[in-house]
Amino acid sequence: RDFGLSYAEMGLLVSLFFVISGVGQALAGFVVDRIGARPVLFAALGCFVASALAAASARGYGGLMLASALAGLGNAPFHPADFTILNKRVSMARLGHAFSIHGISGNLGWAAAPVFLIGLHHATGSWRIAYLCAALVGLCVIALLAFNRQAIDDHHQAHAPGREAAHAKVEHPMAFLKLPSVWLCFSFFFFSTAALSAIQGFASPALSKLYSLPISATAFVVTGYMICGAVGMVLGGFLVVRVERLERTIAMAMTLAASLLVLGGLGILPGTAAAAVVALAGFGTGLAGPSRDMLIKRAAPPGATGRVYGTVYSGLDLGFALAAPIFGALMDKGSPEAVFYGAALTLAMGVVSAGLVGQGINVASKRKAQLAA
């Protein structure tokens, strides 16, 4: 509003963030495997602090683009760094729950962001002060991790079998790129994240236009979506250790989410009920989260954790980058219902990708069993 920007221009800021994050994420995986996850994680948090400061001092669209670029650079290493630490520091029996808690913390962060920023804006009358407070949050996180730096030391090898480590030394660093499962996981993240981009960026204004609700009443739909996602992840952490065919859990959960999004976009419910239905769709995507992360672990070759997670999760960034301007353009053209239909369609395509990954892993497991016999 202050800079007179359209939805498409706002979408382009999101695209810049995720283009930089996507390219950086794939490269960060190699850096993590080479020098370790911990120093890369600290550098990433420093970029986020710089981004918040740049946003607080922005005087126009260029300043917002700088903030977006710095945030994308900071976002890039998180998945390869985090999952490398988790895989090396957490035992297999607890890994599913670790993935669940990791995802929950992310969802709660997404949920808290609009409450935190909008609340500070209303309390102080300045969105710039809200961004300064966001920078302070980043500094506090850096201090917390520095104080507990031994807990995130990924050179700790207690849960990394020596046989896998030996295998990783002789394998070519780029060999994992030949695995179809890696690119299917990439496509899964691309499709599922395109749906998340639609909800996070445009669900609130779309519901406002579709149901004539005040924007103040729809502003916290994203928060509800992420909280429901966190609840889903808690249950998903228990499912992942009990279900062998993880792709079936993913299919069930994401189909539920897609169905709820279509219902929200039909325009047949009362406005508040439609907002609740869209928020509830987050439960389905959250339920699929731990199974998704474990599916990627099963598809990753030994010794290539950072590279695989970096490459696969760059599909997440690409999904955000391409989806944001498309959904923004749909809003500019006066088609708010298309936001929900498009999100549901991309979730359905993600189900197909996950199914193919699971099928490939199942076939490979049967071959190993036959060779062992």
Look up residue 26 and give its two tokens.
């794939």
**DSSP of 144-155:** HHHHTGGGG-TT
What domains appear along the chain, each with residue ranges and CATH number? 7-151+176-367 (1.20.1250.20)
pLDDT of the residue at 304: 63
Look up residue 236 and give its two tokens.
């998903």
Q: Which amino acid is at 306?
A: G
- For residues 336 and 207, what is the distance between their CA atoms, to the nearest angstrom? 7
Burial level of 362, CB count in 10 A (0-12/13-18/19+)? Answer: middle
- For residues 233 and 228, what is the distance between their CA atoms, to the nearest angstrom? 9
Q: For a pLDDT cut of 70, what percent of the chain falls above it?
A: 90
Burial level of 252, CB count in 10 A (0-12/13-18/19+)? Answer: middle
Q: Mean pLDDT score of the chain, rounded to an integer?
A: 83
For residues 30 and 306, the answer to whether their CB atoms sit within 8 Å is: yes
pLDDT of the residue at 137: 94
> What confidence category does residue 96 fall into, taking pLDDT thresholds of 50, 70 and 90?
confident
**DSSP of 30-64:** HHHHHH-HHHHHHHHHHHHHHHHHHHHT--SHHHH
What global pTM score does this model have? 0.69
Report pLDDT digits (tens) over 163-182: 444 444 445 666 667 777 77
User: Could you tell me how many residues make up the chain?
Assistant: 373
How confident is the model over 209-232, as a mean pLDDT?
84
pLDDT of the residue at 66: 95
Report pLDDT digits (tens) over 276-303: 999 999 999 889 888 887 877 777 666 6
pLDDT of the residue at 17: 87
DSSP state of 240: T
Dihedral sign, CA of 302, 304, 305, 309?
A: negative
Buried b (16+ CB within 10 A) or exposed e, 50-69: bbbbbbbebeeeeebbbbbb
The radius of gyration of the chain from alpha carbons, rounded to an integer in Å, stands at 21
